Every structure is written in structure tokens, then in C-alpha cells.
């Protein structure tokens, strides 16, 4: 434990890596949702950041208007956000499936503006407080750093959800139907499977994942209308780097980005916001289908 | 059928003429600085439309050229003390160079990947604008002097400045028109509609794509450079990705693939932002609604719908 | 009571010819952040404060037609400067008030000088307003980064916090705050053991706080403001940093931030402000009226808008016109002003309004008897000690 890496003692480095992993959890859950929606629906969901924000707000509203606490919010908020997503899909997105990707992107971009603008009007921009649930408060001294229980929970919860989703999509029959439906909806429909229903539920699921990330974020980042705005392009970058259709790619790249960002914050903190884009540019120019993607 | 490359159709000539007369009278009725803002953004949108509507390439990072040129032109006028036309030239050249560098890397990819590469580089430009000492970070470059055009005509007052801006932006838009309605423009159209066939016909598709990219970046830069002289300020807003989103909005709203669409789109968006400024976040909501309605109902944009109605290209 | 005081101040400080005071048109523009991170500390509250000033000054009774307009600069220099330019060119505005966010303030100061208006800045902190970019038409009323540094920085260093680590918001204001505080710390025998530049704005400070923890500093200086400071403090508590013994110095913190954070988390924090609603009878009386009109206690920024406007109107009345901004600003510098909220205020030749600054400590939940009973006053720093000395080239009274 006596050596130092570039002037940083190993304990500090370990601590930063662990923090990076925690942040990576958010990137993983968000990019999973985005990848699911893109991989299975071919929609570039620019509203993902706004829906993440909605998830956090729904959790806050459940607590402040209905007295429903964190643990229920973990289930209810994603369901509510997912339902809202389904509404969006039914009324607007479904009309664009036959058109260029571009239009889905523009539509969801517009939706993001609307959602963010509305929340900003009603709730202002300063954050709303949301307490860490009692069962998860406090923390443990790990020697190289003090790890708050809630942050440990974030890593566990997100990993569970991410790998659960991956398992469901890649290894179960339902997932197989979904994947088949993307490749050849008519054929799958001919087998008696309700493809539009499947598509609708998939979008809802992707959005619910964003909402889930929002609830996870609420106690530690302030609940404010802008929380998803600058995050969305970072999450895009993660999905692109991971490979746009690859579920596993999105999850792993999310965690990886968290780690890279964490390291950058130690050595060159000013650059921590731009490092992801540098990586994306490099990956796109060398291996455009992404690190885990399949070449088209 | 009259081929598009021989002379401008009478309808277009008429529209340009009317527009010119209207714009020459405008500063006497409307706050000139506001009118100049509209013209700069009209040029920006027209430049973006060259790439999107006519080249078929969606760039997410056009703010890099607009804002980058703005910073260079501001620096040229303030620190190097150049006259306005030279400062604008410097800014435009910088944008062209940036377009060349980024474009040559971006065109290696297609579709959404192309767009993401442009975004990535635009974010890097933003980062540079934030960190480099000469750009002033959050403050931006302030107090850019309004010098003497060609060393002779003072641009201190709004009216002479207005006519300088009018000349440059109108000229720029006419240039863009000429580019679109030229043999080069025809090839672009072919590439946009059916790239494999264009390749099989022997066209060096990549070179055309790069050229249109650089041209688009150059004229976007021209708009940004002029804007810095009007507002005497270059700031981070000019290179932020939201600015890239706004130019998409203007083009979509007005009509991609039409000449007059982006001009109309820019006028509407800038006017809306100005007059609804007191409503704060409602502007964002309204912009979002326009995006949504635009995509669902008016995909051709306002001018596109008009063109379809008149059964003439606009 | 306030009215009498205002009238007395006017008569005492100036030789006014009431005949000239007839029919003077004055248009004031309150330009600040109405929808972003600084909306609570300035925003609509500043407009309320300006209106109270016009009423208390009895502008109407003195034959002055004062109109107040307002706009949101969204913390962006280009939007702020465009609004300022349009206000001066098109809308006949004579003076612009408030303008938080230093980058916007500097841009507006430049335009104000060009158009011969007056900028009475209450919200921004950069010392550049009266130094590097001083103008004859700028009056910097409430606070600046040097005053904050001389308050919190000096006190905490002298109280034993010798080693400092800075978390600096990576933009002009953050750097300025860090620089000013660092020099004060060193002047008082302390040492800066490290700094880290945090991209602005930021939501997650965990990584930077960890670095601060590892540095072994006694004090972690938060060279940032608004939501950034609130988040940093919350996360410092979450990571057990404050519990483990390191102190946090919130270098720029407002009563609205403390209110948002809650006494539970914020207790024990030291901070420097120029005004607090519960300081004396006059501040209490005015703040009660403000609370009625606005629904929250006033911050020092909003109080500064009130006082600055009163002083401005007095100068306009004395001159008989609001047209010549430089002249009005010069008039404001002529004599000491007795202000109900800030005490004795002397506006210097460079536009810097000097007055007492106060060091406060946030009360613990047990000590606090009400929702807004948040501060206890610990020390007073006089105007001469708080602010940086005037630069010769910025003395516009010469």
C-alpha cells in the first residue's frame, strides 16, 4: 500500500473508483432503457432524460401529496412513468414507425422540451428535497473511504434490475418474441402474437427503467426539472459506445463510463464532462457498431 | 421541362425582391438589433438546411461552427483590432476549417452515427470554449467593438450596421440558393435519393458529402461571426448543444428541403423567443409543442405545405 | 417610520429644489434570474423590493413618475446584454437593478456605460465590477467576493481552521471567490493544501468531497453558490465528512439556501452576509412588510435592491432628472447615506458601496424558534475592513 499512482495514493483511487461505480449505476440503468427502446423499437428516445426526471418527481409527489414513502415509490413511480410512456407511444410515437429515425428523434426531443418546461413552470428550478429512507441512512467505514449505505444500495439495486432485464430479454421466451418482433413483425404477427401490444409494453418498460433510475436518484441528487437535461446526451453517448442494439453493451458501458469519469475527476476534473464524448468519437471512428454491437 | 440550373424561376426572383425591399425598410419600423438577430439566424438555418434538406445529412453539432466563428470573429475585432469585415472573414474561415476537420471524420459514418460524431465533436468545441483562456469561459468575450467597415464607414449606429448585416446575410442566402441550384446541387440530390446508384455512376460520393458539409459549416460560421459583431458578445450559448437543437427546430418548422423554409422558421422562432421572453419556461414548452406538431402533422414545414399547395418548389 | 427616515435622508443629504422635482420620469428595470438557480434569492422578490422602495420614497408625492419593469436573464450574458441594450435603446430605461451572476453583470455594466444609464448591482459578487472593469455608471451595492472572504475566511482561519481545501465551481465567479479567500486565509496564517475545479453546474460532489477529505484539511471551502453549495453540503453530511470533524465554509450562502437545506443539515455553518431580517427593529419592520408582499424573508440581495433604489431615487430627485446616468451615479457618491437596512453606507468613487458586513452562524434546530429563525450574529466587519481598497484609476470622483 506504499506505492502511489501518479501522485494519488491507492486508497483515494479505490475510493474514487467505487464512487465511479455508483455513478455508473445510473448510467447503466438509463442506457439500458434507451437501448431496449432503440434495439427493439428503433426509436431514438430523446425524452429519456425528461422521463427520468419525471420518475424522481413522481416519487417526490407520492411522498408529499399522498404520504407514500420510498419503498413503495420504487415500484409505483416506474409504473406510473411507464404508463405515461405507453400513453405517449399510443398517441404519438406509433405514427412514426414507418418513417426515418430522424422523426422519432425530433418528436421525442420536442416531448422532452414540453415535459421539462412544464415541470420548470410549476416547480421552479431549485431542487426539492427528498430524504434518504431511514433504513438506508448512515454508512460504513471501509478503510479507504466511508461508504454511505444508500449509495451501496444504488449499486445493488441497479445491478439487479439491469441483469434481470438482460436475462429476461436474452434468455426467456418473452424476450425471444420481442427480439423476433423487431426483426420481422409481420411474421411474428402471423404466429398470433400481438405485435403492437408487445411494442407498446416494451416502450413502457424502457420508460419505467428511466423512472426507476429517477427514484434511485431522488434522495441523493436534488429533485429538479433540469436533472435529466444534460444527462440525456451522455446516456446517448453510452448507448452508442456500447452498441446501439446491444443490451449487455449498454449496461457494461454504463458502468465503465462511471469508472472512467471517476478517474478523470481525480486527474483532470474539468474534463470529466467531456471525456465521454472523446471516447465516443474514438469508438465511432474505429468501430462504429460500438464495443459490443453487431455490425449491421 | 425547364432544368433548374438555368436561371432563377420568376417566382423565386419575385420573392427575393420583395424580401429585400421589406428588409431594407424594416429597421425604420422595428428595433434594428432584433431584425439583425433574425437575419443572422435565418442564414444559420439556411446553412444548416443545405446539409440536412439538400444533403440529407443530420448534424447534431452545428453550434460548433456558429459559435466557433462567433468567438474567433469577436477575438479578431476586440484583441487584434481588425475591422468588421476582416473579423467576419476570420470567423468564417475558422468555421470552414472546423467543418473540414470534423466533416472529414464524420462522413465516414452514416445516419445516426454520423449525427453522434458531429455531436461528440461539438461537445469538445464547447469544452474548449469553456476552458481556453482566450474565450473568457462563462463571461464569454464581451465588449467587442463595432469598428469601421473597410476602415471608413462607422458601424457604431444601428442603421449602418443593419445594412452591413443585411448585405452579408442576404448575399449568403443567395449564394446558398446558387449552390443548391447548380450541377453540384443536382449531384447532391442524387446522392440523397439513392447513394448506391450515384456511386455506380462514378461520383465520388464522399468528396461531395465533405464539400457540402464544409459549405454548410462555412455559412453557419458566417452567420455566427456577423452575430458577434452585432451583439458585441460571443458566449457559451452560441456553442451549446441547445443551439444545435434550435437550428433543427427552425429548419423543421420552416420546411427542410425548401429555400425559404429556414428563413421563415428562423423568423418565427426568434420572434417567439423575443416576445414570449416574459413567460419564461413557457417558451420551452411552446417550442416543444411546435416540434411535436411539426413532426406529426407538418413534416414538410410551413413553407413546404405552402409549396405543395402552390404546386411549385419553394 | 421608514418614510420619515427616507425623507429626512433626502433633505439632509441634498439641496433640492422641489420645483425641479415636478414631473420627473424615471424608468427602472429589474434584471435578474427569475427561473433558474438564483430565482429564490433575487427573482420576483427583487421586484417587490424595488416597488417598496418607490412607495416608501413617496415618488408620486414628489412628482416623480416611476415605472418598474422586469425581465429574466436566465443567467446568460447574451440574453442579459440583449435585454439591457433593448431597454436602453427602445424602452427608455434609466437604471437597471439587481443583475445576479457576474458574467451577466459585467456585460450589462459595459452596456450601461455605453448608453449612460446606471447599474445598481445587488446580486453579483465579482470584484471586477469596481476594479478590472470599473465604470462611472456602475454602483455595486450589496456584497462582493472580497467582503465574503474577509468575513468567513478570516474568522474561520483565526478560529483554528488553518488548513484549507477548496471545492471551486469552474467559472469566473468560483475562481474569484477562491482567490480572494485564499489570500485572506494566508494573510491570517493559514495554508491552502489543495483545490479542485468542479465543472459548473454539478449534481454530484462525492468525488471532490472525497479528495477534500483525503487532503487532511481543517476546512473545506465551498467556492460556489446556490444549488451547488446546497448539494455539496448535503453530500458532505451523507459521506460523514462533517461528522468526522472537518468544517465546511459556505463562502456564498443566502438565507433562502439555508431555509431550503433546513437547520438540521445546515447547523453550525459559518457564513457572511450584509443583511439579515432579524438584526434590529428597522430590519424586522421592513422584512415583515416584505414577507407580507412576497411570502418569504428577504435575502441581502433583495434588501440591497430596496436600499439601492432609494438612494438612486434620492439622487435623481436632487438632480431633477434621470437622463444622465453618470451624473446620477456621481450624485450618489457625494455623501454618506443613512439606510434603514444597511446602516451607514458610503458609496466610493469606484461605485463600491461600503457598509458593515456580518458573520453569522446557522442555529441548531433546538435554538431555532421559527421557520426563518436561522442565524445568530457572531461578528461585525466594518466597511473599511471588509472591502478591497479603491483602485486609483477607478476613482471616478476625481
Contacts 24+ apart (CB under 8 A), C82-87: C82/B33, C82/B37, C82/B231, C83/B277, C83/C29, C83/C31, C84/C29, C84/C31, C84/C108, C84/C111, C84/C112, C85/B33, C85/C111, C85/C115, C86/B31, C86/B33, C86/B34, C87/C29, C87/C31
Task: Look up residue C313 and give its three cell numbers.
Answer: 431615487
> Is it the case that residue A179 has pLDDT exceeding 90?
no
- The position carrying cell 430522424 is A102
User: CA of C261: which chain A residue's CA is closest?
Assistant: A129
Mean pLDDT of A231-239: 90
Which chain B residue lies closest to A238 (C-alpha atoms)?
B116
- The DSSP 8-state label assigned to residue C254 in this structure reads -
d(CA B282, nearest CA chain A) in Å = 6
Percent of chain A with pLDDT over 70: 96
Q: In terms of C-beta density within 10 A (0-12 exposed, 13-18 middle, 19 or more buried), how is residue C338 classed?
A: middle
Band the pLDDT of A6: cuts 50, 70, 90: low
Q: How confident is the model at residue C238 (pLDDT cuts 50, 70, 90)?
A: confident
Chain C: give the shortest CA distance to residue A181, in Å: 39
How far, in Å, CA of C373 to CA of A217, rounded?
31
Which set of grid coordinates corresponds to residue A246? 446491444
pLDDT of residue C170: 83
The reply to whether residue A9 touches residue C214, judged by beta carbons under 8 angstroms, is yes
Of B270 and C20, more confident: B270
What pLDDT, on a 0 to 100 scale, did the predictor assign at position C8? 47
**Partners of chain B (3+ Cβ pairs below 8 A):** A, C
Q: Which residues on chain C are in Cβ contact (under 8 Å) with A139?
A: 238-240
What is the pLDDT at residue C48? 96
- Mean pLDDT, rounded, for C121-143: 94
pLDDT of C17 > 90? The answer is no
Least confident of A75-84, A101-110, B5-14, C343-352: B5-14
Instruction: List, in order, residues 6 or more apart from A156 with CB less than 8 Å away.
Output: none
Neighbours of chain C (3+ CB pairs under 8 A): A, B
Whether residue A4 is predicted with pLDDT greater than 70 in this model: the reply is no
Q: Give the other-Cβ count within 10 Å of A181's Cβ.
A: 23
Distance from B216 to chain C by nearest Cα, in Å? 24
Asked if pLDDT for residue A288 goes beyond 90, the answer is: no
What are the grid coordinates assigned to B146, written together?
A: 463595432
Average pLDDT over residues C120-145: 94
A288 touches chain C (CB under 8 A): no
Could you report the per-residue pLDDT of A26-78, keeping only the tens digit for each? 999 999 999 988 877 778 899 999 999 999 999 999 999 999 889 999 999 99
State the average pLDDT over residues C174-201.
90
Q: From the candidates C36, C203, C226, which should be mutated to test the interface with A, based on the most A CB atoms within 10 A?
A: C203
Give Dmax (Cα) for chain B.
Answer: 57
In whole angstroms, give the CA distance from residue B164 to residue B170. Answer: 10
Helical axes C206-214 vs A247-267, angle rounded to 10°: 40
**Closest CB from B138, B232, B237 relative to C171:** B138
Per mean pLDDT, which range of A191-200, B89-98, C372-381 is the poorest? A191-200
Band of residue C18 on the pLDDT scale cut at 50, 70, 90: very low
* DSSP state letter for C352: B
Q: Respond yes or no on whether the N-terminal peptide bond of residue C201 is cis (omega within 30° of 0).
A: yes
Judge contact between B50 and B212, C-beta under 8 A. yes
Write out chain A in H/E/C secondary structure.
CCCCECCECHHHHHHHHHHHHHHHHHHHHHHHHHHHHHHHHCCCCCCHHHHHHHHHHHHHHHHHHHCCCHHHHHHHHHHHHHHHHHHHHHHCHHHHCCCCHHHHHHHHHHHHHHHHHHHHHHHCCCCECCCCCHHHCCEEECCCCEEEHHHHHHHHHHHHHHHHHHHHHHHCHHHHHHHHHHHCHHHHHHCCCCHHHHHHHHHHHHHHHHHHHHHHHCCCCCECCCCCCCHHHHHHHHHHHHCCCCHHHHHHHHHHHHHHHHHHHHHCHHHHHCHHHHHHHHHHHHCCCCCCCCCC
**What pLDDT is recorded for position C15?**
43
pLDDT of residue C2: 54
C83 touches chain B (CB under 8 A): yes
B139, B140, B162, B273: best to mutate for the C interface, most C CBs within 10 A: B139
Q: Which residues 207-266 of B are in CB contact (within 8 Å) with C?
A: 231-233, 235, 237-238
Mutate to test the interface with B, among A106, A229, A283 (most CBs of B within 10 A): A106
The reply to whether residue C199 touches residue A150, judged by beta carbons under 8 angstroms, is no
More confident residue, C305 or B149: C305
The two most distant CA atoms of chain C are separated, in Å, by: 69
For chain A, the C-alpha Rg in angstroms (whole number) is: 19
Strands lying side by side in the sheet with C357-362: C191-198, C163-169, C219-223, C247-250, C270-273, C357-362, C375-381
Q: Are A110 and B289 in contact (CB under 8 A)?
A: yes
Q: Which residue has the higher pLDDT, A123 or C97?
A: C97
pLDDT value at A293 more than 90: no
A-chain CB neighbours of B111 within 8 Å are 101
| Residues β-bridged to residue C43 | none
* Residue of A90, A65, A39, A97 lying closest to A248 (CA atoms): A39
Q: Chain B residues with CB inside 8 Å of A115's CB?
A: 288
Average pLDDT taken over every residue of chain C = 89
Question: Can you tell me the mean pLDDT for C329-344?
Answer: 93
Contact B296/C at CB under 8 A: no
Residue B265 CA: distances (Å) to CA of A280, B45, B167, B262, B290: 32, 8, 20, 5, 11
Decide: B312 and B305 in contact? Cβ < 8 Å: no
Asked if B197 reaches chain A (Cβ–Cβ under 8 Å), the answer is no
Instruction: For residue C245, give how far its alpha carbon lies from the nearest alpha carbon of chain A (Å).
Output: 14
**pLDDT of chain B, 314 residues: tens digit per residue:** 445 445 678 889 999 999 999 999 999 988 999 999 999 999 999 999 999 989 889 999 999 999 999 999 999 999 999 999 999 999 999 999 999 999 999 998 888 888 889 999 999 999 999 888 888 888 889 889 888 888 888 888 889 999 999 999 999 999 999 999 999 999 998 998 888 999 999 889 999 999 999 999 999 999 999 999 999 999 999 999 989 999 998 998 899 889 999 999 999 999 988 877 777 678 889 888 988 998 888 888 899 999 988 888 88
| Spatial separation of the C-alpha atoms in residues B230 and B144, rounded to whole Å | 9
Three-class secondary structure of residue C357 per DSSP: strand
Helices (H), chain C: 2-13, 43-56, 77-89, 102-115, 145-148, 154-158, 172-187, 206-214, 227-238, 255-261, 263-266, 281-294, 300-319, 325-332, 383-386
Q: Distance from CA of residue B185 to its chain's centroid?
A: 18
Q: Are A228 and A116 in contact (CB under 8 A)?
A: yes
Residue in C71, C81, C89 nearest the CB of B233:
C81
B136 → chain C, closest CA residue: C172
On the question of pLDDT at A2 being above 50, the answer is no
Name C204's Cβ contacts closer than 8 Å, sequence gap at least 6: A23, A220, A221, C231, C235
- Residues facing C358 on adjacent strands: C273, C380
A22: nearest CA in chain C?
C206
Q: How far apart are CA C206 and CA A141, in angstroms?
A: 15
Of C35, C72, C107, the CB nearest to B142: C107
pLDDT of residue C330: 94
Identity of the highest mean pLDDT range in C2-11, C13-22, C31-40, C309-318 = C309-318
Q: What is the pLDDT of residue C21?
A: 45
Query: How would residue C22 be classed by pLDDT, with cut points 50, 70 and 90?
Result: low
A211: left (phi over 0), alpha (psi -120 to 50) or beta: alpha
Name the B residues in 235-264 with CB < 8 Å from any A CB: 241, 245, 248, 252
Distance from CA of A48 to the nearest CA of B (A): 15
Instruction: Retrieve residue C65's grid coordinates.
Output: 413618475
| Residues of chain C neighbouring A146 (CB-CB closer than 8 A) | 239-241, 244
Amino acid at each position: 500500500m506504499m506505492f502511489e499512482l501518479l501522485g494519488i495514493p491507492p486508497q483515494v483511487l479505490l475510493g474514487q473508483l467505487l464512487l465511479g461505480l455508483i455513478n455508473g449505476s445510473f448510467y447503466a440503468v438509463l442506457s439500458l432503457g434507451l437501448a431496449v427502446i432503440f434495439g427493439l423499437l428503433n426509436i431514438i428516445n430523446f425524452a429519456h432524460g425528461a422521463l427520468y426526471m419525471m420518475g424522481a418527481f413522481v416519487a417526490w409527489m407520492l411522498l408529499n401529496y399522498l404520504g407514500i414513502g420510498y419503498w413503495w415509490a420504487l415500484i409505483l413511480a416506474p409504473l406510473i412513468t411507464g404508463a405515461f410512456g405507453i400513453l405517449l407511444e399510443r398517441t404519438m410515437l406509433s405514427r412514426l414507425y414507418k418513417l426515418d429515425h430522424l422523426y422519432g428523434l425530433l418528436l421525442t426531443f420536442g416531448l422532452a422540451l414540453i415535459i421539462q418546461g412544464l415541470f420548470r413552470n410549476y416547480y421552479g428550478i431549485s431542487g426539492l428535497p427528498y430524504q434518504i429512507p431511514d433504513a438506508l441512512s448512515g454508512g460504513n467505514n471501509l478503510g479507504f473511504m466511508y461508504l454511505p449505505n444508500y449509495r451501496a444500495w444504488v449499486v445493488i439495486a441497479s445491478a439487479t434490475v439491469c441483469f434481470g432485464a438482460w436475462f429476461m430479454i436474452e434468455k426467456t421466451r418473452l424476450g425471444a418474441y420481442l427480439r423476433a418482433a423487431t426483426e420481422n413483425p409481420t411474421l411474428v404477427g402471423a404466429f398470433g402474437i400481438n405485435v403492437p401490444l408487445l411494442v407498446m409494453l416494451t416502450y413502457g418498460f424502457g420508460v419505467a427503467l428511466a423512472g426507476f433510475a429517477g427514484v434511485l436518484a431522488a434522495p441523493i441528487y436534488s429533485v429538479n426539472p433540469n436533472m435529466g437535461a444534460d444527462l440525456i446526451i451522455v446516456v446517448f453517448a453510452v448507448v452508442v459506445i456500447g452498441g446501439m442494439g446491444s443490451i449487455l453493451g449498454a449496461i457494461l458501458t454504463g458502468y465503465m463510463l462511471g469508472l472512467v469519469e471517476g478517474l478523470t475527476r481525480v486527474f483532470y476534473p474539468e474534463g470529466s464532462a467531456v471525456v465521454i464524448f472523446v471516447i465516443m468519437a474514438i469508438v465511432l471512428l474505429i468501430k462504429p457498431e460500438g464495443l459490443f454491437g453487431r455490425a449491421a | 421541362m425547364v432544368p433548374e440550373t438555368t436561371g432563377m424561376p420568376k417566382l423565386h426572383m419575385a420573392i427575393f425582391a420583395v424580401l429585400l425591399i421589406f428588409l431594407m425598410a424594416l429597421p425604420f419600423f422595428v428595433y434594428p438589433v432584433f431584425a439583425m438577430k433574425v437575419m443572422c439566424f435565418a442564414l444559420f438555418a439556411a446553412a444548416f438546411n443545405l446539409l440536412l434538406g439538400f444533403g440529407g445529412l443530420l448534424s447534431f453539432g452545428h453550434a460548433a461552427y456558429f459559435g466557433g466563428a462567433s468567438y474567433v470573429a469577436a477575438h479578431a475585432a476586440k484583441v487584434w483590432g481588425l475591422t468588421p469585415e476582416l473579423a467576419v472573414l476570420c470567423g468564417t474561415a475558422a468555421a470552414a476549417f472546423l467543418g473540414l476537420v470534423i466533416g472529414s471524420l464524420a462522413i465516414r459514418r452514416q445516419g445516426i452515427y454520423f449525427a453522434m460524431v458531429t455531436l461528440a465533436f461539438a461537445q469538445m468545441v464547447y469544452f474548449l470554449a469553456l476552458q481556453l483562456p482566450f474565450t473568457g469561459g462563462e463571461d464569454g468575450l464581451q465588449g467587442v467593438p463595432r469598428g469601421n467597415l473597410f476602415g471608413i464607414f462607422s458601424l457604431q449606429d444601428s442603421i449602418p450596421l443593419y445594412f452591413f448585416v443585411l448585405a452579408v446575410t442576404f448575399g449568403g442566402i443567395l449564394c446558398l440558393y446558387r449552390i443548391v441550384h447548380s450541377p453540384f446541387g443536382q449531384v447532391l440530390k442524387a446522392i440523397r435519393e439513392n447513394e448506391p446508384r450515384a456511386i455506380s455512376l462514378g461520383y465520388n460520393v464522399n468528396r461531395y458529402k465533405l464539400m457540402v458539409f464544409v459549405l454548410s459549416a462555412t455559412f453557419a460560421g458566417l452567420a455566427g461571426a456577423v452575430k458577434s459583431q452585432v451583439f458585441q458578445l460571443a458566449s457559451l450559448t452560441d456553442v451549446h448543444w441547445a443551439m444545435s437543437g434550435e437550428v433543427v427546430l427552425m429548419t423543421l418548422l420552416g420546411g427542410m428541403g425548401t429555400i425559404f423554409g429556414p428563413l421563415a422558421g428562423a423568423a418565427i422562432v426568434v420572434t417567439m423567443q423575443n416576445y414570449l421572453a416574459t413567460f419564461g419556461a413557457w417558451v420551452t414548452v411552446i417550442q416543444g409543442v411546435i416540434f411535436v406538431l411539426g413532426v406529426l402533422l407538418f413534416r414538410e414545414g410551413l413553407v413546404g405545405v405552402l409549396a405543395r399547395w402552390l404546386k411549385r418548389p419553394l | 417610520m421608514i418614510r420619515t427616515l427616507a425623507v429626512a435622508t433626502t433633505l439632509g443629504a441634498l439641496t433640492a429644489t422641489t420645483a425641479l422635482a415636478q414631473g420627473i420620469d424615471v424608468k427602472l428595470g429589474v434584471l435578474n434570474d427569475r427561473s433558474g438557480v438564483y430565482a429564490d434569492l433575487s427573482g420576483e422578490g427583487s421586484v417587490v423590493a424595488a416597488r417598496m422602495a418607490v412607495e416608501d420614497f413617496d415618488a408620486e408625492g414628489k412628482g416623480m413618475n416611476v415605472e418598474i419593469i422586469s425581465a429574466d436573464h436566465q443567467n446568460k450574458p447574451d440574453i442579459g446584454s440583449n435585454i439591457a441594450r433593448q431597454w436602453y435603446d427602445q424602452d427608455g430605461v434609466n437604471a437597471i437593478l439587481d443583475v445576479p451572476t457576474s458574467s451577466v453583470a459585467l456585460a450589462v455594466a459595459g452596456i450601461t456605460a455605453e448608453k449612460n444609464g446606471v447599474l445598481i448591482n445587488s446580486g453579483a459578487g465579482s470584484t471586477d465590477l469596481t476594479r478590472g472593469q470599473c465604470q462611472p455608471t456602475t454602483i455595486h451595492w450589496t456584497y462582493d467576493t472580497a467582503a465574503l472572504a474577509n468575513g468567513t475566511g478570516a474568522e474561520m482561519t483565526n478560529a483554528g481552521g488553518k488548513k484549507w481545501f477548496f471545492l471551486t465551481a469552474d467559472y469566473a465567479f468560483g475562481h474569484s471567490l477562491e482567490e480572494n479567500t485564499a489570500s485572506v486565509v494566508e494573510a491570517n496564517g493559514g495554508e491552502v493544501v489543495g483545490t479542485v475545479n468542479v465543472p459548473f453546474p454539478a449534481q454530484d460532489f462525492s468525488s471532490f468531497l472525497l479528495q477534500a477529505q483525503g487532503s487532511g484539511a481543517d476546512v473545506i471551502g465551498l467556492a460556489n453558490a446556490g444549488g451547488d453549495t446546497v448539494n455539496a453540503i448535503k453530500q458532505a453530511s451523507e459521506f460523514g465528512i462533517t461528522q468526522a470533524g472537518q468544517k465546511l465554509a459556505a463562502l456564498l450562502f443566502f438565507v433562502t439556501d439555508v431555509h431550503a437545506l433546513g437547520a438540521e443539515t445546515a447547523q453550525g455553518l459559518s457564513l457572511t452576509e450584509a443583511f439579515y431580517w432579524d438584526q434590529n427593529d428597522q430590519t424586522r419592520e421592513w422584512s415583515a412588510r416584505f414577507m407580507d408582499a412576497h411570502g418569504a424573508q428577504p435575502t441581502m440581495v433583495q434588501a440591497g435592491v430596496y436600499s439601492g433604489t432609494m438612494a438612486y431615487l434620492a439622487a435623481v430627485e436632487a438632480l431633477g432628472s434621470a437622463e444622465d446616468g453618470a451624473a446620477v451615479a456621481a450624485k450618489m457618491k457625494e455623501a454618506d447615506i443613512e439606510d434603514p437596512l444597511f446602516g451607514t453606507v458610503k458609496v466610493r468613487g469606484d461605485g463600491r458601496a461600503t457598509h458593515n458586513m456580518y458573520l453569522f452562524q446557522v442555529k441548531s434546530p433546538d435554538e431555532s424558534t421559527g421557520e426563518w429563525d436561522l442565524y445568530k450574529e457572531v461578528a461585525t466587519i466594518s466597511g473599511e475592513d471588509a472591502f478591497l481598497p479603491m483602485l486609483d484609476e477607478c476613482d471616478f470622483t476625481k
